[in-house]
Structure 1
Amino acid sequence: MSIFNKIFGDSDSKGTPQNRINWTQLTQLKQLDEAVEVSNLQIVVFFKHSTRCSISRMALKQFESHYKLSEEEVKPYFLDLLSHRDISNAIAERFGVEHQSPQLIAIKDGKCIYTVSHSDIDAEELQVRVAEAN
């Protein structure tokens, strides 16, 4: 494996999330309503990812390598922006956030409590924000 692939990922993976995090694939608009319901019980996180963007791929790999939250603390959802731009637009409208890619959005009780994009996506900072919100 080349150094480029170690940093940016293998082109065969196309940025598909790894098994390090038990992602729920966000593929249907109705899942947003389900996520809001879940956010009344625990924090929900959306990771919006562009599978053609090396910056997005790098942010995803970095996030996954440092992610330590349990499934009881956070319910993680993964959104492939290229396949589901309609869902991304619905997230932006519903939670009052500007569309970014890559982007991490955390919701609690149906409201956005934290959002970051690009190089600001940090699993350890998310862990701090989750602790503060609970």
Structure 2
Amino acid sequence: MSLFENLFGNATPHKDTKNTLHWIPLTSENQLEEIKNSSKNNSIVIFKHSTSCGISNMVIKRFEKLFTEEHQSLKVYYLDLLRYRSVSNEIAKVFDVVHESPQILVIRNEISVFNASHYDILEINLSRFL
């Protein structure tokens, strides 16, 4: 890993073989309809991440550590805010949340049932959304 990546983070989430979190890239506004439909049966998590933000880089690394085998059934979407800001804007509109970064949303039955930003993300009890 380069010095730049060590200081500012990488553009993609960590690739840790011990980690049970499998990120689904969120790159299109069209995926929001898929997320809404999937949320009728299961909770869906969206993690909005700014790759240029030190807080966001620290929070995403700690968030990944919250995942255990128990949480493997959760679908977790990763949104790179710098590349896909229009998708973030559409998330705010579709799920009626104020844009923040970093931010996590839990979607269930087509609505946001939980959202948090910054360090509050790390207080999430993922098990309650299984």
Give the shorter-chain TM-score range.
0.7 to 0.9
Residue 27, structure 1, aligned to residue 27, structure 2: yes
Judging changes above 3 Å, is the alpha-carbon distance between structure 1 residues 15 and 120 closer, same or farther for their aligned structure 2 residues? farther
Inter-partner Cα distance in structure 1 for 2:83 and 2:11: 13
**Matched residue pairs, number?**
123
Displacement of 1:126: 3.1
- Give structure 2 stretches of 5+ with no counterpart: none
Aligned position for 2:83: 83
TM-score (norm 1): 0.83
Is the Cα contact below 8 Å between 1:27 and 1:84 reproduced in 2?
yes
Percent of paired sites with the same residue: 38
- Give structure 1 stretches of 5+ with no counterpart: none
Query: Residue deviations 1:49-96, cap 9 Å, x none?
Result: 000000000000010012224332x11000000000000000001111
- Cα RMSD (Å): 2.0
Q: Secondary structure at the residue paired with 1:76? A: strand
Is the Cα contact below 8 Å between 2:8 and 2:51 reproduced in 1?
no
Aligned partner of 1:18 among 3, 8, 14 = 14
Is the Cα contact below 8 Å between 1:43 and 1:107 reproduced in 2?
yes
TM-score (norm 2): 0.85
Displacement of 1:10: 2.0
